[in-house]
Structure 1
Amino acid sequence: MKMTLRSATMASVLAVCAHQAAANCDTVRMAEPGWTDLALTTGIASTVLEGLGYTPESDVLGIPVIYESMVGNDLDVFLGYWDPAMETYYQAYRDSGDIETVHQNLEGAKFTFAVPKFVYEAGVSDFSHLVENADKFNSQMYGIEPGSNDIMLNIVAKDAFGLGGWKVIESSEQGMLAQVKKNQRKEDWIVFLAWAPHPMNTQFELEYLTGGDDFYGPNFGGATVHTQVRKGYLEECPNVGKLITQMTFDIPMESEGMGYILEEGLDPNDAGAKLLKTHPEYLDAWLDGVTTKDGGDGLDAVRAHLGL
């Protein structure tokens, strides 16, 4: 009888723990730093998760805050670790094991300084050429959201390339691009943070600068983008984990979807849904072996959610 009671008690405890673990997986907490590419991929993931019966949540936060929130168990998933550009942000968390990199979701990306083509053709093709033309740039460089320009700020702090006296203008991705558009129209000189995938590469005539390898990495900050999770998340929520470790994007797809946000004004979830309706073929690989939250066929559920 004593053994039976103990077994029953253990079974009850395990049942409660299993229920709590399942409940914790019902909501998938994500964040992105306000970059359109990551807003899009997070919107795509949110759309798929909704179709599977989960409740996705997404916040816009600075990269350091995203990582601290993951360590504090306030966020689960981050789809936007750009390697090597974000190495300085991630190193401590990788070394401690508090945040896990679980999947490469994009290759062929790049991330470094750029200038309008007319500036490039005037002789500014390398980081070292900036200081020679400081007066034409008003000794200013344009970044995006505060918390996302640490490499740029580090260049100034270290007086790299003689840029120690320059000012970093922080605003937002949209604010920076509006300034680029204005300067390009007036043929005023500007140096700014640029990356691909992004519609800016077709919207503007721009050129990436060489010479920034020590800060942004080789090949114009050539990067891969990875999915990261808080420690232990894949074990706690294996079905969501299977999905996010199978979601792989590509440059043309992301650039198209980012255009829906920047040019058509769609919010990221609507842009993600439109992109998946246009390219439903991505769903087959992403949802292979993935079920709904309640154990149903994942692919059928997401297709139905999208009206396919």
Structure 2
Amino acid sequence: MTKQPMSHSLRIAGLALAAGSALAAGTVQAQDKGTVELGYVEWSSEVASTNVVRAVLEQAGYDVELTSLSAAAMWQAVASGDSDAIVAAWLPTTHADYLERVGDEVENLGPNLEGTKLGLVVPEYTNVDSIDELNANADTFNNEIIGIDPGAGLMGLSEEVVDEYGLDLDLRSGSGATMTAALQSAIQNEEDVVVTGWTPHWMFARWDLKYLDDPKNVYGGAEHINTIVRQGLKEDMSEAYAILDAFAWTPEQMGEVMLMNQEEGADPYENAKKWVEENQDVVQEWLPES
């Protein structure tokens, strides 16, 4: 007879515990806004912007997963819905082919950064000022142009530059890191080098550089970086959509983050969180009013 009350008490305690657990689970579920998948290319500018957007979305209560892809795969991922968004679309020139292929399958939210530029870059001390002077000085540059990853839109445009200008220099593919390493080595040895470059990029803050004139305008004029999202994101995650739509900053602000990322042992995600924390006045402009 003495065991029954104990059993009854345990049963009540168990029910109370289950009810509390259910309530707690419901609270967690109510606060769970879901996961936002962001694709990006391994350009220093896009590493900076994508990690900042990640930190802002996390501040708003979302989980965020980043996937590094080639430019072509990045665009296709948004079109297929494997990625929710990218903040790394260089338009109207660099990624024009990708936009043409999948434009009907994605939503273009417009520029998040204005004032970008593409072209061939040399140290300021180099006695060449225009692309059409390269052939006459090919030996100075070891008969080569140091490029980046072969799938990049910048490389496609640079191939057009080689054809349009009839350049006798070989366009070497590699990565953003190998390009800046070659640039650094040449500058340290006061040698001439020509690389494929773009603004914004931390290398312009670190070294005195100049773009070569492009009289044929193959690289086009100033570009902008746009935010592209998958179809249906507005309906599925309206707040995340609103944040992505509002995200916009300046080359100077992006440059701050890129320079932080060049420090030895730097963690782009941690740097992005630090920048977001220290620039809440800017961040609040991207967050929906509560």
Residue in 2 that maps onto 1:197: 200
Residue in 1 that maps onto 2:116: 109
Superposition map of 1:45-56 within 5 A = 45-56=53-64
Question: What secondary structure does 1:58 align onto?
Answer: strand
Residue in 1 that maps onto 2:88: 80
Q: Deviations over 1:227-255 (max 9, x none)?
A: 00122322332111001011111111110
Distance 1:72 1:288 in 2: 27
Superposition map of 1:98-247 within 5 A = 98-119=105-126, 122=127, 124-148=128-152, 149-156=155-162, 159-163=163-167, 165-211=168-214, 214-218=217-221, 222-247=222-247
Query: Does residue 41 of structure 1 match 2:44?
Result: no
Residue in 2 that maps onto 1:28: 36
RMSD: 2.1
Q: Using the TM superposition, give the Cα deviation of residue 269 of structure 1 relative to its aligned residue in structure 2, in angstroms.
A: 1.3
Q: Deviations over 1:211-235 (max 9, x none)?
A: 16632212xxx11111001223223
Aligned AA for 2:268? P
Aligned AA for 2:55? T
Asked whether the 8 Å contact 2:56–2:276 carries over to 1, the reply is no
Judge which range, 207-216 or 103-112, deviates more: 207-216
Asked whether the 8 Å contact 1:145–1:172 carries over to 2, the reply is yes
Q: Using the TM superposition, give the Cα deviation of residue 179 of structure 1 relative to its aligned residue in structure 2, in angstroms.
A: 0.7
Q: Using the TM superposition, give the Cα deviation of residue 173 of structure 1 relative to its aligned residue in structure 2, in angstroms.
A: 1.3
Aligned AA for 2:63? T
Aligned AA for 2:47? A
Q: What is the percentage of aligned positions where both structures have the same residue?
A: 27
Asked whether the 8 Å contact 1:145–1:173 carries over to 2, the reply is yes
Aligned residues: 258
Distance 2:71 2:33 in 1: 23
Question: What secondary structure does 2:140 align onto?
Answer: coil
Q: Using the TM superposition, give the Cα deviation of residue 260 of structure 1 relative to its aligned residue in structure 2, in angstroms.
A: 0.8
Q: Deviations over 1:142-197 (max 9, x none)?
A: 122231122223333xx22112x432222221221111010111122211122222
Asked whether the 8 Å contact 2:135–2:169 carries over to 1, the reply is no
Residue in 2 that maps onto 1:300: none
Question: What secondary structure does 1:34 align onto?
Answer: coil
Q: Using the TM superposition, give the Cα deviation of residue 66 of structure 1 relative to its aligned residue in structure 2, in angstroms.
A: 0.8
Distance 1:83 1:41 in 2: 16
TM-score (norm 1): 0.78
Question: What secondary structure does 1:226 align onto?
Answer: strand
Judge which range, 28-37 or 48-57, deviates more: 48-57
Q: Using the TM superposition, give the Cα deviation of residue 58 of structure 1 relative to its aligned residue in structure 2, in angstroms.
A: 0.9
- Cα–Cα, structure 1 residues 112 and 43, in superposed 2: closer, same or farther, change >3 Å? same
Q: Using the TM superposition, give the Cα deviation of residue 72 of structure 1 relative to its aligned residue in structure 2, in angstroms.
A: 2.0
Over 6 Å off, 4+ runs: none
Distance 1:239 1:277 in 2: 20
Asked whether the 8 Å contact 2:33–2:61 carries over to 1, the reply is no
Question: What secondary structure does 2:77 align onto?
Answer: helix
Distance 2:157 2:212 in 1: 15
Q: For structure 1, which runs of at least 5 residues remain unmatched after alignment?
A: 1-21, 290-296, 298-308
Query: Does residue 64 of structure 1 match 2:72?
Result: yes
Q: Who wins on radius of gyration, i.e. which is larger?
A: 2
Asked whether the 8 Å contact 1:139–1:166 carries over to 2, the reply is yes
TM-score (norm 2): 0.83
Aligned AA for 1:29? E
Distance 2:238 2:96 in 1: 27
Asked whether the 8 Å contact 2:121–2:195 carries over to 1, the reply is yes
Asked whether the 8 Å contact 2:89–2:225 carries over to 1, the reply is yes
